[in-house]
Amino acid sequence: MKKIKFSEITPEKIYLKRRDFIKKLGLSTSSLMVGQNFLNGAKASTQNLELTEYRYISTYNNYYEFGTRKSDPVEKSQNFKTSPWSLTIDGEVKKKITLTVDEIKNSFPIEERIYRLRCVEGWSMIIPWMGFSLSKLLEKASPNSKAKFVEFTSVYDPEQMPGQRYPILQWPYKEGLRIDEAMHPLTTMVTGLYGKELPNQNGAPLRLIVPWKYGFKSAKAIVNIKFVERMPTSSWMRASPREYGFYSNVNPRVDHPRWSQASERVIGSGILSERIPTAIFNGYGEEVANLYSGMDLKKNF
């Protein structure tokens, strides 16, 4: 596969004019993945929504390392240093590896993947991410037979991240996936969005996207990935296990204790716009429902 340079990615203005073309093909916006000129089978229920404009994606964020307001990340992260940066993969592996961001970007073809980001608070965005399947990176470390889960740890740097100076969560931020979830081809290591380098406020230089789960599962500014034998306790689980379960699959039939998850507001569609129904697994059920066959999704929320 030919590697794609960021300069070769479709510009934002062209993205926003693409809706008519997509509709003529009979595809929903998030069914189109253009990075290597192929169509992916992922059919998120976007109801032909427009891609979310970059100005919303880059200014309306949850990133508590920089503060709890949606505007805090863009306001307080602009001087955050993302170079030099390295990622270590260890734990239950045959070989521990450490790679720089440049080594990672140069090792894997970067694809454009249009996924919906669904926040547990009830809002969503349709974002053209740049990245590659996480499995390609994880395979380099050769997990051993004891590896059942994957734990992700974000950077701890309270000097640069003012939110980490307060006990909002237990720092550093941690998340976890079952190994089959982490190895699923839709699970993406993200290096950019909208044809641009990943902005600091969106999790630069490396973040995770697991499109069928709520957004907080997608750890930002990752420095360590560890294969483990037992289910890890994520930061939000530790803070409030009643509200944030390990799986955190998008499920309109399982309410958050303080609000319904049955509908969502698409950011950028206007304050008075109607909320839309939330799709099970964020619309990716055809691809991922088999991972949870026989499980009680209300108990394993």
CB 38 within 8 A of CB 185: no
CA distances to 235, 244, 252, 262, 274 from 277, in Å: 28, 21, 8, 6, 10
pTM over 0.85? The answer is yes
Residues 6+ apart with CB under 8 A from 57: 125, 127, 193, 194, 202
Label residue 1 exposed, middle or buried (CB < 10 Å: 0-12, 13-18, 19+).
Answer: exposed
CB 205 within 8 A of CB 198: yes
Taking the domains of the chain in order of start, what are their residue ranges?
6-292
> In the Cβ-directed half-sphere of 287, how many Cα atoms lie within 13 Å?
22
Whole-number Å distance between alpha carbons of 118 and 278:
9
Beta bridge partners of 185: none
What sections of 34-79 are H helices per DSSP?
54-57, 72-76
How far is Cα of residue 147 from the mean position of the Cα atoms in its chain?
22
Phi, psi (degrees; rounded to nearest 5) at 86: -135, 155
Whole-number Å distance between alpha carbons of 285 and 212:
8
CATH class of 6-292: alpha beta
Q: CA angle, corner 12, sides to 11 and 15, nearest 5? A: 90
Label residue 269 exposed, middle or buried (CB < 10 Å: 0-12, 13-18, 19+).
Answer: middle
List the chain pLDDT tens, one digit each, 301 residues. 333 343 344 445 555 555 443 433 333 333 333 333 323 444 444 445 689 999 999 999 999 999 999 999 999 999 999 999 999 999 999 999 999 999 999 999 999 999 999 999 999 999 999 999 999 999 999 999 999 999 999 999 999 999 999 999 999 999 999 999 999 999 999 999 999 999 999 999 999 999 999 999 999 999 999 999 999 999 999 999 999 999 999 999 999 999 999 999 999 887 667 899 999 999 999 999 999 999 999 999 9
Through-space distance between the first and last CA atoms of the chain, rounded to whole angstroms:
38
Phi, psi (degrees; rounded to nearest 5) at 12: -55, -40
